[in-house]
Amino acid sequence: AGDQNLFTSIYPTLSQQLPREPMEWRRSYGRAPKMIHLESNFVQFKEELLPKEGNKALLTFPFLHIYWTECCDTEVYKATVKDDLTKWQNVLKAHSSVDWLIVVVENDAKKKNKTNILPRTSIVDKIRNDFCNKQSDRCVVLSDPLKDSSRTQESWNAFLTKLRTLLLMSFTKNLGKFEDDMRTLREKRTEPGWSFCEYFMVQEELAFVFEMLQQFEDALVQYDELDALFSQYVVNFGAGDGANWLTFFCQPVKSWNGLVLRKPIDMEKRELIQRQEATLLDLRSYLFSRQCTLLLFLQRPWEVAQRALELLHSCVQELKLLEVSVPPGALDCWVFLSCLEVLQRIEGCCDRAQIDSNIAHTVGLWSYATEKLKALGYLCGLVSEKGPNSEDLNRTVDLLAGLGAERPETANTAQSPYKKLREALSSVEAFEKHYLDLSHATIEMYTSIGRTRSAKLVGKDVAEFYMRKRSAQKAEAHLQGALKTYLAEGWALPVTHTRKQLAECQKHLGQIENYLQTSSLLASDGHLTQEERAHFCQEILSFAKQQVDSPGHRILLPMHSFAQLRDLHFDPSNAVVHAGGALSVEITLYSQMPVPVHMDQIAVNVHFNIEKNSYRKTAEWLTKHKMSNGIINFPAETSLFPVSQNSSPALELSEMFERSPSDNSLNTTGIICRNVHMLLRKQEGGSSLETPSGVALEDGAHVLRCSSVTLQPGANRVAFRTQAKEPGTYTLRQLCASVGPVWFVLPHIYPIVQYDVYSQEPQLHVEPLADSLLAGIPQKVKFTVTTGHYTVKNGDSLQLSNVEAMLILCQTENRATIFSNSREESSVASLRIQASDKVTSIGLPAAPAYHVIEFELEVLSLPSASAAVGERGTQGTPEIHRKQKDRQRTGHCMVTTDHKVSIDCPWSIYSTVIALTFSVPFRTTHSLLSSGTRKYVQVCVQNLSELDFQLSDSSLMDVGNATDLQLAPLNAQCQQHIHSKQSVFFVWEIRWTREPPPALHCQFSVGFSPASEERLSISLKPYTYEFQVENFFTLYTVKAEISPAVGAEYCRTGSLCSLEVSITRLADLLEVDKDEALTESDEYFSTKLMYEVVDNSSNWAVCGKSCGVVSMPVAAQATHRVHMEVMPLFAGYLPLPDVRLFKYLPHHSAHSSQLDADSWIENDSLSVDKHPDDQLDCSSVRSRGSVASVASSEHKGLPMPRLQALPAGQVFNSSMGMQVLVIPSQDDHVLEVSVT
């Protein structure tokens, strides 16, 4: 408004400058502020242009009213401009428009002309005062707009900023109002009269505005909202909640000319919507074309593809939901056209590389288009072999009519979807070409993005198409590919279906072998109906019948589809037969066929190999170790999935711990898969899934056959019989069943099934029944004759050469048992045994080859030799017990004797020598006991065997010539039981009348018999034992006595007591005394003795010298007393310390001077010449003085006196076992004294 001329002069600059700088646009509802470029259209103010109340057009809405004036003097202003302005303002107010601006343009040129001008600001102020009483910013001064000065520039900038702000303010306000209006309109949608189309137009207006403002995002949101709203309505309609306005969308579809995406706005359709005449497809098409345009503006072509697919799907759904009547094929046409249109549109706006990298988005459209074209092809009869019939043609014409005319914008492009569809539907050949093009493109795309399964599915469709066209060759490849995938992943139903198609295809191609194989697979397929399976089975059988005339030609098929080997049973069960023996193998075949099948032959190929010289193949080993039950079960593999889960090996996992070496704490732990290599290889090598067609038939020389077998569906048992010929191992390799020329072969039998054939040399074994044979009593020995290939005839006998000390006891009845080699008892026969002096002959019962004869004989080893193994000589009383303990510890080894028997066998010219070892069940020890001068002999019989014995008639005889010696038994019982591992003692007193001999030679004998057996057939020889006792006469008695300290009543711990040792000689000079220790002076004999007081249990502390040498006169009743001080260490009844006597033998050496015995004793280093059995004693001495051992080793080689222990029988310790009461010391504290 205002000065039009002025405006026109400024306008170019203004419109140019305005959009140059972006403005921040703050929006309501917390939407993010955006930078936008304003661009506006200026129109001359006319009253008519002002919007009426209720107008919804936002696009042409005047946002800002500007009054331009260039008036500079007050008069003019008052006269005209003010009125004009007032009028303008009133009009605006009438329309309740608050967005206005007054621009005062100043012109210096005009100012100069008039001298008496008011200050220029006054007009502005005036205007401001008049009109902008509150909003002073509504009046702007623009100075010298047409000049190019800095001041102009400044004012321009200020003006533009102001203008922009105001424009935006107004825009925002109006937009907000519009949106509110729109929302209220939307809220009214439940009202009956509401029309979606009207609302659509309103919201689209908003979208247009956004689009204009380059806010495509927001524009898209508007369309999406519309889309969603519409979809919701359709869904609600489907749920029975219909809106009136929807009904006209439900009118029958008459035209299906696809999406049009080339034009930004499809005005044609928009008008239809405006006129409320659009069909659902029209509305959808229009909506989508708008969305598409916006998306493309937003550089998101992939979303277009994605949305297109969704749209097409949902459209189809919606049409169904709204029950819109659509001629058959029309939708297919529409979808197909739309798909292609979208694809071409996308292609049009992207370059090649971009498309290639985003195939994933478009491939869905491709496959959808393919699918639809296929459907159209079927519908119009373009797929069948004969071509379309008239009905199909009619349909085609109808469809083409529905397409309408080609759109002008695509008419001149050669590859428009419209043209494509027209062409494809026009003829069979063109259809094939187009369809295959599309399919191959789709497959290629799928494969390139790795969606192999989808590619296979499309491939299968193509195959179906080919089958329709009777070109099975091309179909087969596709089918095989698909089948492979399904098999690999174990999809049973698709596998079956694909196989069925494949079978048909192969039948056409005449691939007999493949066809039969597929048929056999199908016939065993549980997913098919019984009739179908029977049909395929019949196919095989009929083929087998018709090919009978051409012999020699075999068709090999894998067995697993036909039948499965379930288990295998050997008879004999351990699958070991001797050469010539009969073996039967029974297999269970589980037939998968739906009908009984008569097989000409079922055969098992056997691989033979000889393993010589290996123990594992000998008869004994085989018969002993191969004790399986003879049934081998085969894992029931599901024939459908050769490479499904059950063929992959199980995970072998093991724990792993790693500990730090320093403190054994756990460092790492984990699980290791030990067979990773197998598992991983399995995954890669999934290529060889289908059993390779080349099933090789092994032509082994050894075949087990079974002819004319009818296999019922389910389990069948087939038995094979064979005669074992050569020894060796036979491995069952292949199983094949044949019907005419058709052979079903199971190429490998796994787990490995073998049977062994052996031949055996006759053998004889003799072994004792018990663990060891005991001498002296009858023992049973088992004879085992393994006949092997030798047949034992009646009259064959074993000749045993007798040994003196071993008797073979011939009992009246001896029974031999004959077993077969597999331990089955076959018969019992009696033995004839003829014994002569030298030879015992045993007549064997007749037995066939490969049998075992077992019998038992009793033998008796005479204990004659046992006495020869004597025990060691006499020892002292205390030692002997220890020694026995020692022996018992070191082992229970019984004394053994060996007897060798040589046996002549009928099958061999050599005689077999067999050694039998008998052990003596007893061990006997003896000991000498003394009491003063009385002497006793104790004999200990120890039973080492496991048996209990009855001992009787024990006797001890002096075998020496000591006639004056009497042995008086002190044993009460004459019969005694001796249990296993126990001992029995016998005691005799030795009495003598004269001076006893130095040595006594005795023989002990005792009769024995096993306690368990009451009666024995023969009398057993008694057990004898010879021994010798020496120096049994007592020479000295030692008496020790402890008396408390003087004045005290009892011994106290810690206080010294006196020990008095008296050594008394009991006899005059005897034979035994004549040795080195004896010194003779003036017919007065004396012997040097050394005594020693030792306390082993450290009850006593010996104070002062513990040992010394005394010279003992050799005369009866000569006594030597020694006093010593001892101190008890503990309270209680304490045993007296030991007093030992040794013979002190001076060293006999010419050059060495006699050493003072006392100095030696002072040294306390004694070289003790002891009996080797006295180790324990020795150690006790050593423990007393560790110095001694060291010193003795130092003194090695030096001449020194020797000590010789007196034989136990010569010394009698009369105070042995005496005890002395020791009471604790008064002051109650424990005194610990350690004596070293």
Partner 1 sequence: NYPLYIRSTPMESELKFHYMVHTSLDVVDEKISTMGKALVDQRELYLGLLYPTEDYKVYGYVTNSKVKFVMVVDSSNTALRDNEIRSMFRKLHNSYTDVMCNPFYNPGDRIQSRAFDNMVTSMMIQVC
For partner 1, which is the closer residue by CB, 279 or 454? 454
User: Token pair of 755, please?
Assistant: 């049977």
Closest CA to 599 of 541, 640, 555, 551: 541
Block residue for tokens 């009978």:
548
Contact yes or no for 544/739 (Cβ under 8 A): yes
Pairing between β-strand 65-69 and β-strand 100-106 as defined by DSSP bridges: parallel
Pairing between β-strand 778-786 and β-strand 851-861 as defined by DSSP bridges: antiparallel
Minimum CB–partner distance for residue 301 and partner 1 (Å): 19
- Where do contacts with partner 1 occur on this chain (CB under 8 A)? 235, 238-239, 309-310, 313, 316-317, 320-321, 360, 364, 446, 449-454, 457, 486, 489-494, 497, 641, 644-645
Would you list the DSSP string of 411-465? HT-TT-HHHHHHHHHH-HHHHHHHHHHHHHHHHHHHHHTT-HHHHHHHHHHHHHH
Minimum CB–partner distance for residue 451 and partner 1 (Å): 4
Minimum CB–partner distance for residue 514 and partner 1 (Å): 23
Minimum CB–partner distance for residue 253 and partner 1 (Å): 16
Phi, psi values for residue 264, rounded to 5°: -65, -45
Residue 79 DSSP one-character state: I
Residue 81 DSSP one-character state: I
Minimum CB–partner distance for residue 256 and partner 1 (Å): 16
CA 314 from chain centre, in angstroms, equals: 49
Closest CA to 503 of 457, 469, 462, 535: 535
For partner 1, which is the closer residue by CB, 295 or 335? 335
Q: d(Cα 350, Cα 338) in Å, to the nearest integer?
A: 18
Task: From residue 1, give the alpha-carbon distance in Å to each of 82, 96, 414.
Answer: 13, 17, 54
**All residues at 6 or more sequence positions from 818 whose CB lies less than 8 Å from its CB, including other chains:** 825, 826, 827, 828, 829, 845, 847, 851, 852, 853, 854
The 10 Å Cβ neighbour count of residue 68 is 22
Minimum CB–partner distance for residue 371 and partner 1 (Å): 8
Minimum CB–partner distance for residue 450 and partner 1 (Å): 7
For partner 1, which is the closer residue by CB, 498 or 1213? 498
For partner 1, which is the closer residue by CB, 79 or 680? 680
Minimum CB–partner distance for residue 456 and partner 1 (Å): 8
Q: What is the 3-state secondary structure (H, E, C) of 758-780?
A: ECCCCEEEEEECCCCEECCCEEE
Contact yes or no for 948/1012 (Cβ under 8 A): yes
The three-state secondary structure class of 101 is strand
Gap between the terminal Cα atoms of the chain: 138
Block residue for tokens 């044979």:
773
Minimum CB–partner distance for residue 543 and partner 1 (Å): 28
Contact yes or no for 345/263 (Cβ under 8 A): no
Minimum CB–partner distance for residue 490 and partner 1 (Å): 3
Q: Does residue 751 have a cis bond before it (omega within 30 degrees)? A: yes
Minimum CB–partner distance for residue 368 and partner 1 (Å): 8
Q: Counting every residue, how long is the chain?
A: 1236
Amino acid at 591: S
Residue 305 DSSP one-character state: H
Closest CA to 777 of 860, 867, 894, 895: 860
Minimum CB–partner distance for residue 609 and partner 1 (Å): 37
Pairing between β-strand 666-673 and β-strand 702-711 as defined by DSSP bridges: unpaired
Helical ranges in 793-908 per DSSP H: 877-890
Minimum CB–partner distance for residue 666 and partner 1 (Å): 25
For partner 1, which is the closer residue by CB, 406 or 637? 637
For partner 1, which is the closer residue by CB, 446 or 1036? 446
Minimum CB–partner distance for residue 235 and partner 1 (Å): 5
For partner 1, which is the closer residue by CB, 449 or 1157? 449
Minimum CB–partner distance for residue 285 and partner 1 (Å): 18
Q: d(Cα 134, Cα 121) in Å, to the nearest integer?
A: 18
Q: d(Cα 713, Cα 702) in Å, to the nearest integer?
A: 29
For partner 1, which is the closer residue by CB, 3 or 371? 371
Contact yes or no for 279/253 (Cβ under 8 A): yes
Q: What angle do CA 339, 341, 343 make, to 5 degrees?
A: 70
The three-state secondary structure class of 25 is strand
For partner 1, which is the closer residue by CB, 82 or 497? 497
Task: From residue 852, give the alpha-carbon distance in Å to each of 154, 564, 573, 786, 858.
Answer: 131, 40, 18, 4, 20
DSSP-assigned beta bridge partners for residue 753: 732
For partner 1, which is the closer residue by CB, 153 or 325? 325
The three-state secondary structure class of 1193 is helix
For partner 1, which is the closer residue by CB, 513 or 652? 652
Block residue for tokens 């329709």:
468
User: Token pair of 97, please?
Assistant: 């428009």
User: Token pair of 680, please?
Assistant: 């991983």
For partner 1, which is the closer residue by CB, 238 or 1224? 238
Sign for the CA dihedral angle at 1157, 1161, 1162, 1164 comes to positive
Minimum CB–partner distance for residue 316 and partner 1 (Å): 5
For partner 1, which is the closer residue by CB, 236 or 660? 236
Q: d(Cα 204, Cα 39) in Å, to the nearest integer?
A: 20
User: Token pair of 23, please?
Assistant: 């403005």
For partner 1, which is the closer residue by CB, 527 or 1021? 527
For partner 1, which is the closer residue by CB, 642 or 1207? 642
For partner 1, which is the closer residue by CB, 316 or 1221? 316
For partner 1, which is the closer residue by CB, 492 or 895? 492
For partner 1, which is the closer residue by CB, 683 or 1153? 683
